[in-house]
Amino acid sequence: KAGVTQTPRYLIKTRGQQVTLSCSPISGHRSVSWYQQTPGQGLQFLFEYFSETQRNKGNFPGRFSGRQFSNSRSEMNVSTLELGDSALYLCASSLDQVVDSGANVLTFGAGSRLTVL
């Protein structure tokens, strides 16, 4: 069974540009979460989507946004890129219920590495 697929794997942008990252979850998984990983801040939660609705949101500025489609695929967008947005962006999916019991397990993709120049 295919894992979580993230595209593109690597990309380079310049300050002020915007970027869209894509995530295809495991078939049947309805929840998709996004994380940012940097050497200084570690793994930080961005947001979670379930059935096309944002269910949880981390402490990031409004430049970071996401959405989920009816087939559970998800995209995240970062507008007006800053140097500090250079990071590994990770997507994870889970076989989720309407209410997360706390036992839900996440499967992560390999990430999209964004470099902002």
Half-sphere exposure of 72 (CA within 13 A, CB side): 19
- The reply on whether position 75 binds other proteins by CB under 8 A is no
CB of 71 to other proteins, least distance (A): 21
Taking the least distance from each CB to other proteins, the nearer of 17 and 56 is 56
Task: With contacts defined by CB under 8 A, name the span among 11-19, 60-68, 73-81, 108-116 that binds other proteins.
Answer: 108-116
One-letter identity of residue 89? Y
Q: How far apart are CA 15 and CA 79, in angstroms?
A: 10
Taking the least distance from each CB to other proteins, the nearer of 70 and 99 is 99
- The reply on whether position 109 binds other proteins by CB under 8 A is yes
Instruction: State phi, psi for 109 to the nearest 5 degrees.
Output: -85, 180
Q: How many chain residues interact with other proteins (CB under 8 A)? A: 24
